[in-house]
Amino acid sequence: MNERMLLEDGLKQLSLSFSPQSVEKLLRFSDLLLEKNRVMNLTAIEDPAEIAALHFLDSAALLTLADFRNKRVADVGTGAGFPGLPLRILEPSLSLTLLDAQNKRVEFLKEVCAALGLSDVTCVHARAEEFAADHREGFDLVVSRAVANLRLLAELCLPLVKEGGRFLAMKSVDSDQELAESRHAIETLGGAVETASSYVIPGTEIRHRVIFIKKLRKTDKKYPRTFAKIKKHPL
């Protein structure tokens, strides 16, 4: 099955509506990703079909678990644009900010957005704890597929979520201990674990999990701390 067929079939399996233009944009994104990956490390996945499944469909699965329509969304530690860009391509009504600490990645994302005509996507080169200084409680939804421990991610992401909003952390299904160890940090930062939903990436046997954390109250202004402090003394 080629990349296009895998994408279309996978989106149908997820019961997501999509336009031919959305599929074309995802395929173009894949081409740009593979081209740039020759000169900088963006992804370890180099097979187009695997990119379709493990990047695009994995990201798209979030649309089946939460309502992204007309939401302000921040993707923290977005890397090569996941899950944020596939979400924006498939749900054009959302307002997206892509945040990453590596400028080369951010410049790549700007090139992708220009090539795909996504002029309203904001690409920011900054650390999350620095970005929070001017964007506290500024987003309905914050998403992250970053590999950092949830205790650290919570302090970087929850300050950005408005009261009543949610932080969606994409994790492996064997993250029970990590979640248990993060509850104190989440509560300290004004959040509460709402649920953990698992899903199978279409066309694969890979099961992932999304941890939903609801923002119940504003985060104390002393958070987030500097990353060095977060890493050395996690909540």
pLDDT of residue 194: 96
Question: For 34-59, how does the pLDDT look when each residue is reduced to its tens digit (9 = 90+)?
Answer: 999 999 989 999 999 999 999 999 99
Where in the chain are the domains? 3-232
Per-residue pLDDT at 147 = 76
Q: What was the pLDDT predicted at 204?
A: 94
Pinpoint the alpha helices (H) of 92-175: 103-116, 128-135, 150-157
User: What is the Cα 159 distance to its own chain's centre?
Assistant: 16
pLDDT of amino acid 34: 95
Alpha-carbon gap, residue 161 to 169, rounded angstroms: 13
* Residue 160 near residue 187, CB atoms below 8 Å: no
Low-confidence ranges of the chain (pLDDT < 50): none
In whole angstroms, what is the distance from residue 40 CA to residue 20 CA?
Answer: 30
CATH numeric code, 3-232: 3.40.50.150
- Distances in Å between the Cα of 173 and the Cα atoms of 59, 105, 201 are 16, 28, 12
Give me the pLDDT at residue 74, please.
98
pTM for this entry: 0.95
Residue 82: predicted pLDDT: 97
C-alpha 190/C-alpha 136 separation (Å) is 13
Half-sphere exposure of 111 (CA within 13 A, CB side): 15
Q: At 123, is the secondary structure helix, strand, or coil? A: strand
